[in-house]
Amino acid sequence: MSDSLSDLIFWIAFAAILLALRRQRIFWTVGALALLLLFNQFFTPGFFHLQILDGHLYGSRIDVLNQGAKVMLLSLGMVLVIATGGVDLSVGAVMAIAAAVSSRLLVTQHLPAGVAIVAALCISVLAGAWNGLLVAGFGIQPIVATLVLMVAGRGIAQLITEGQIINFLDPTMVYLGNGHLFGLPFTLTLVVVMLLLTHFLVRRTALGLFIESVGDNDEASRYSGINAKQVKFLVYTFSGLCAGLAGLVACSNIKSADANNIGLYLELDAILAVVVGGTSLQGGRFYLVGAVVGGLFIQTLTTTFYAKNVSSDIAPVPKALVIIAVCLLQSEVFRARLAWVLSPLEKFLKPVGSRLPRHLPTTARHDSPKS
Amino acid sequence: MIRLNPKYIPLLATAVVLVAVFGTGAALYPNFGTPRVFVNLLNDNAFVGVAAVGESFVILSGGIDLSVGSMVAFVGILIAKLLQVGCDPFLAMGIALCAGTFAGAVMGCLIHFFEMPPFLVTLAGLFCLRGLGFVIYPESIGIDHPFYGEVLPQLSILVAPKAVLPFTAMCFLASVLVATFIASFTRFGRNIYAIGSNENSARLMGLPIGQTKILTYALAGFFSAAGGVVATFYMQSGNPASFVGLELDAIASVVIGGTLLTGGVGFIPGTLMGVLILGLIQTLINFNGTLNSWWTKIVIGVLLLIFIVLQKLISRRAVTQL
């Protein structure tokens, strides 16, 4: 009974958000998420069930938020990298390195959790800076430059853990991925704080504009006085930091550091989240919140598969179809062809529009101050 | 001094590295330099090699193919399942090769017609093929067909005393020969180089861009599928969960083999050498015994880095010479 009430409140809130966003690019991403949730509302029993245990909320939607934290954190760094026209393939490997460093310091060196976490983040920033050096300093293509760390990174992580899976029980470290704050998973707070921080960094300073201009045209922005190399270096370093955080969350989730499997294929999920969020892989304009919602979308998709008993092995197929569909919609050529196919329909609709010329000026005047 | 064409420098560097790695091994371990080790090297890396040959074409054309590992696993489980239900082995291999070529062609079409980034399209291919493999059968299937058990072992040649060149190695060498011919001595091959160097110039020259691109990805699909067939010879089984990350090995082999990742420069025999270098590093680490296998990844990463920086320096010099 209370379930249906809370569902109703949820959907009214969601509809209000959609309505508020109807003119924004992010509308499509949120809309896709809404469709997916709507599917679950009707076809996945128990997906919308919420319960409170020990003052903490539990339920599939909370699981999505908790499990999606890794992809959302990664996508924050990735969206800035992609905005400069690059891509960072090494985030999965950097996650493994961060997990390895923190658990090694914690377990074998018996250092306090705070030191281990800071050290792991420092190493991740260093790894990101290395990518930045290769891309900005040496001018190597981003896919290639980050491929180096993608290949070698897991080896380095295994070197740190000495090929073992390190288990830990330190309360601070475990809290990072399993704790609750204000009744919600702590990871959610982490994502929100990082999102606000990044938003402030790129939208309240000129940095965001610089990133977009470098992604649009590297040469032109250099001629207009932007230090393109510095901007690129910075975004890769930031991506390293985000990957480090995601790695800490990932190893905290399972209370152990498994250098082989932590963050495996997560770079692909992060790229997908950014693309679903409306940012083009060509660089230029980027949508920070879109990327985070995209990450949420991917995680909801994954959780839906689990809830529907789709084997996690087969789940990549629909994921691939989503990638192709999203990319097709982003492709200029496809849009042009779609418009061509739909053009008879448009002609069919035109007489309706031509009947309304009297109203057009008024609607235009009404619309302009709103937008 | 003879002026060396800059396009041969990476190939030469690869050859030097190959000789150096092999020389190190031979100097450190008395049995390293024997023909038997070399034949084993060819055998163990045959499926990677065949797949890397396909990858070379794509990279030469300026693209990238991430679906290699999934394709090899998919073809493996497809053949194993077909044989299990009583299909003729040659028909099964034919079906597998056609499926691979078709998948490659589809990816090529998406890349060409809708101008989508190759990176993303083949990434979708990676997910799709991996999942489809699990749809066919979710677990490993052993192959116990008489063709695999009895005929294949006889198809080997004694090349030196105590060194038998198995059929898988022959497939690898044959695919290198065929690919070298296609790349260097056919119009299609020259078109690939032209598109890889500069797609706009190639278009202005009137070369068939679309046809060449789609064919390139179809060819890469064919070679990846052939790699999968060779893998079934080698493993005597099909497993949809296997060969995760094989595409990285393939790309690393191509780059270490002296092919520029920006496209247009490189040679197929370089890829053969690249595969051998990767295999030799693995063998060296096995011979050592005290080093762990994760060192392989680190060494490959460092070699990748060296070659990428080398390529950058060469291309920068080539630009300043213009």
Question: What residue of B is the nearest CA neighbor of A161?
Answer: B294
Q: Does A294 touch chain B (CB under 8 A)?
A: no
The DSSP letter of residue B142 is E
pLDDT at A369: 43
CA distance B281 to A152: 14
For B212-235, what is the mean pLDDT? Answer: 93
> What is the 3-class SS of chain A, one letter each residue?
CHHHHHHHHHHHHHHHHHHHCCCCCHHHHHHHHHHHHHHHHHHCCCCCCEEEECCEEEEHHHHHHHHCHHHHHHHHHHHHHHHCCCCCCCHHHHHHHHHHHHHHHHHCCCCCHHHHHHHHHHHHHHHHHHHHHHHHHCCCCHHHHHHHHHHHHHHHHHHHHCCCCEECCCHHHHHHHHCEECCEEHHHHHHHHHHHHHHHHHHCCCHHHHHHHHHHCHHHHHHCCCCHHHHHHHHHHHHHHHHHHHHHHHHHHCCEECCCCCCCCHHHHHHHHHHHCCCCCCCCCCCHHHHHHHHHHHHHHHHHHHHCCCCCCCCHHHHHHHHHHHHHHHCHHHHHHHHHHHHHHHHHHHHHHHCCCCCHHHHHHHHHHHC
Q: Which of B116, B294, B304 sits opposite A159 (nearest CB)?
A: B294
Most confident by average pLDDT, A23-27, A108-112, A177-181? A108-112
Closest by Cα among B152, B177, B162, B282 to B230: B152
Asked if B309 and A140 come within 8 Å (Cβ–Cβ), the reply is yes
Q: Which of A139, A150, A156 sits opposite B312 (nearest CB)?
A: A139
Query: Does residue B226 surpass a pLDDT of 60?
Result: yes
Name residue A93's amino acid.
Answer: A
Asked if B127 and A281 come within 8 Å (Cβ–Cβ), the reply is no
Which residues lie below 8 Å from residue B65, measured CB to CB, with a gap of 6+? Answer: B54, B55, B58, B59, B104, B107, B118, B122, B125, B217, B220, B224, B247
| Residue B209: both structure tokens together | 């861009």
pLDDT band at A200 (very low <50, low <70, confident <90, very high): very high
Query: Does residue B247 surpass a pLDDT of 90?
Result: no
CA distance B44 to B36: 12
Output the CA torsion A107→A108→A112→A113 (10° steps): -40
Question: Which A residues 58-97 touch B at CB under 8 Å?
Answer: 87
A341 burial (CB, 10 Å; 0-12 / 13-18 / 19+) is exposed
pLDDT in tens, A316-364: 787 778 778 877 776 777 778 877 877 776 666 554 444 444 444 444 4
| Chain A residues whose beta carbon lies within 8 Å of the beta carbon of residue B134 | 311, 313-314
| Chain B residues whose beta carbon lies within 8 Å of the beta carbon of residue A315 | 131
Q: Three-class SS of residue B81?
A: helix
Burial A316-336 (b: 16+ CB within 10 A, else e): bbbbbebbbebbbebbeebee
- Tell me the percentage of chain A whose pLDDT exceeds 70: 91
Higher pLDDT, A204 or A305: A204
CA distance B294 to B313: 29
E-state strands within B127-188: 141-142, 157-160, 163-165
Question: What residue of A is the nearest CA neighbor of B121?
Answer: A324
Q: What are phi and psi of B117, to 5 degrees?
A: -65, 130
Asked if A152 and B300 come within 8 Å (Cβ–Cβ), the reply is yes
Asked if A151 and B295 come within 8 Å (Cβ–Cβ), the reply is no
Q: Three-class SS of residue B158?
A: strand
Mean pLDDT of chain A: 82
Question: Which B residues 34-73 touch A at CB under 8 Å?
Answer: 64
- Strands A56-59, A166-167: pairing is unpaired
Asked if B128 and A316 come within 8 Å (Cβ–Cβ), the reply is yes
Asked if A317 and B120 come within 8 Å (Cβ–Cβ), the reply is no
Query: Does residue A45 surpass a pLDDT of 80?
Result: no
Asked whether B63 and B217 are in contact (CB, 8 A), the reply is yes
Burial B166-182 (b: 16+ CB within 10 A, else e): bbbbbbbbebbeebbeb
Asked whether B176 and B165 are in contact (CB, 8 A), the reply is no
| Chain A residues whose beta carbon lies within 8 Å of the beta carbon of residue B313 | none
pLDDT band at B322 (very low <50, low <70, confident <90, very high): very low
ipTM: 0.74
Asked if B312 and A333 come within 8 Å (Cβ–Cβ), the reply is no
Q: Position of tokens 């006085």?
A: A225
Residue A140 Cα, gap to closest chain B Cα (Å): 7
pLDDT band at B2 (very low <50, low <70, confident <90, very high): low
In a mutational test of the A interface, the residue from B114, B282, B312 whose CB has the highest number of chain A CBs within 10 Å is B114
Host H or E run for residue B238 = strand B237-238
CA distance A173 to A179: 9
Q: Does A147 touch chain B (CB under 8 A)?
A: yes
Which residues lie below 8 Å from residue A193, measured CB to CB, with a gap of 6+? Answer: none
CA distances from A61 to A37, A41, A51, A184 (A): 9, 11, 11, 11
Q: Which of A155, A281, A319 sits opposite B297 (nearest CB)?
A: A155
Question: Which B residues 225-284 touch A at CB under 8 Å?
Answer: 240-241, 244, 248, 251-252, 255, 261-262
Host H or E run for residue B178 = helix B167-185
pLDDT at A362: 43
- Point out which residues pair with B160 in neighbouring strands: B163
Residue A338 Cα, gap to closest chain B Cα (Å): 11
B272 burial (CB, 10 Å; 0-12 / 13-18 / 19+) is buried
pLDDT at A370: 40
Q: Domain ranges for chain B, please list them.
A: 6-321
Least confident of A43-57, A94-108, A222-236: A43-57
Most confident by average pLDDT, A126-140, A154-168, A313-327, B4-18? A126-140
pLDDT at B149: 76
CA distance A257 to A238: 23
For chain A, give the number of residues.
Answer: 371
What count of CB pairs under 8 Å joins A to B?
128
The DSSP letter of residue B244 is T
Q: Does B114 touch chain A (CB under 8 A)?
A: yes
| Chain B residues whose beta carbon lies within 8 Å of the beta carbon of residue A323 | 120, 123-124, 127
Query: Does residue B270 surpass a pLDDT of 60?
Result: yes
Mean pLDDT of chain B: 86
Neighbours of A175 (CB within 10 A): 14
Asked whether A168 and A255 are in contact (CB, 8 A), the reply is yes
Q: Three-class SS of residue B69?
A: helix
pLDDT at A354: 45
pLDDT band at A366 (very low <50, low <70, confident <90, very high): very low
CA distance A101 to A153: 12
pLDDT in tens, A107-134: 888 888 888 899 999 999 999 999 999 8
| Residue B8: both structure tokens together | 């041969």
Farthest CA pair distance, chain B: 64
Closest by Cα among A359, A117, A79, A152 to A257: A117
pLDDT band at B316 (very low <50, low <70, confident <90, very high): low
pLDDT at A169: 80
For A36-54, what is the mean pLDDT? Answer: 76
pLDDT band at A292 (very low <50, low <70, confident <90, very high): very high
Displacement of CA B134 from its chain's centroid (Å): 23
pTM of the entire predicted model: 0.81
The DSSP letter of residue B291 is S
Asked if A148 and B132 come within 8 Å (Cβ–Cβ), the reply is no
Q: Three-class SS of residue B138?
A: coil
Q: Does B174 touch chain A (CB under 8 A)?
A: no
Asked if A152 and B124 come within 8 Å (Cβ–Cβ), the reply is no
Q: Domain ranges for chain A, please list them.
A: 54-309
Burial A144-162 (b: 16+ CB within 10 A, else e): bbbbbbbbbbbbbbbbbbe
Q: Does B137 touch chain A (CB under 8 A)?
A: no
Q: Position of tokens 């992580």?
A: A157
| Residue A253: both structure tokens together | 């989730």
Q: Does A54 touch chain B (CB under 8 A)?
A: no
| Chain A residues whose beta carbon lies within 8 Å of the beta carbon of residue B132 | 317
CA distance B208 to B195: 9
pLDDT at B175: 94
Q: Which of A143, A153, A315 sits opposite B119 (nearest CB)?
A: A143
pLDDT in tens, B68-125: 999 999 999 999 999 888 888 899 999 999 999 999 999 999 999 888 888 888 888 8
In a mutational test of the B interface, the residue from A135, A148, A319, A323 whose CB has the highest number of chain B CBs within 10 Å is A148
Topology annotation, domain B6-321: ABC transporter involved in vitamin B12 uptake, BtuC (1.10.3470)
CATH 1.10.260 fits A54-309, yes or no: no
Asked if A332 and B308 come within 8 Å (Cβ–Cβ), the reply is no
Higher pLDDT, B227 or B86: B227
Asked if B308 and A140 come within 8 Å (Cβ–Cβ), the reply is yes
For B259-271, what is the mean pLDDT? Answer: 87
pLDDT in tens, B293-304: 778 778 888 888
Closest by Cα among A66, A71, A63, A32 to A272: A71
Higher pLDDT, A116 or A178: A116
